[in-house]
Structure 1
Amino acid sequence: MAMENSQLVAIISRLDAMMKAGESETQSRRFEKDGDERGVVTYNPVSKTFTLEEVATKQKFEFDNIDLAAMEIFDLLDD
C-alpha cells in the first residue's frame, strides 16, 4: 500500500521556509483547499511567532511553535 505525501510535512516545510527567509519583514502565505482560501499565515521574524487568520471566521491565532501552527493549519484544511 503506497503512502500518500504527508500534508503535515508539506505545511511544515512552507512554515520552515518562512522562518528561513531571514528577512526582517513579516512573511505571509495563503493556505487553500480545492481553490478555496482557508487561512493566511504570517511569520514575524522579530517575535518569532506565526499568526494564523482563518478566512471564514476572521479569527486570529498566534503560535510560537511551528508544530502547533502546522497542526492548526492542518485541521483548518482537513475539515
Structure 2
Amino acid sequence: MKEGLFMESSQLVAIISRLDAMTENENDEVQTRHFEKNGKEMGIVSFDPTTKTFTLEEVSDKQKFEFDNIDLVAIEVYDLLNE
C-alpha cells in the first residue's frame, strides 16, 4: 500500500460482526441490536436463538422482516443505513 493511502473499514463487515455476536450468545434469550445513522435510529435487529431467525424492524415505518440467513439481514441493514 502506498504511503498516505488508507483503507476505509468496511461497514458491511462491522454489521456482520455485530449480528454474529448475537448468534454466539450461550443463553436462549432474544438478542437485540440497534443500528443508527448520524445519531438517528434506523433499524432494530433481533435474533431468536430458539428459531435461529433474525427480525429487522425499520424504525421509520415499523415494517418487520424475518431472515434465516445472516448475510441477507446484513445486506438489508447496510441498505437501510445507506438510503
TM-score (norm 2): 0.93
Q: Report whether the alignment pairs 1:65 with 2:69.
A: yes
Residue 3 of structure 1 aligns to a residue whose secondary structure is: coil
Matches within 5 A, 1:1-79: 1-79=5-83
Q: Which runs of 5+ in 1 are unaligned?
A: none
Structure 2 residue matching 1:52: 3-state secondary structure: strand
- Distance in 1, matches of 2:34 and 2:26, equals 19
Cα deviation code 1:11-48 (max 9, x no counterpart): 00000000001210100010000100000000000000
Greater C-alpha radius of gyration: 2
Matched to 1:27, the amino acid is Q
Q: Which contiguous aligned blocks of 4+ residues in structure 1 show a shift greater than 3 angstroms?
A: none
For 1:36 and 1:49, the matched residues in 2 are separated by 25
Higher helix share: 1
Report the alpha carbon displacement of residue 68 of structure 1 after superposing the two structures with TM.
0.2
Task: Give identity over the alignment, percent.
Answer: 63
Which runs of no fewer than 5 residues in structure 2 stay unpaired?
none
CA-based RMSD of the aligned residues comes to 0.6
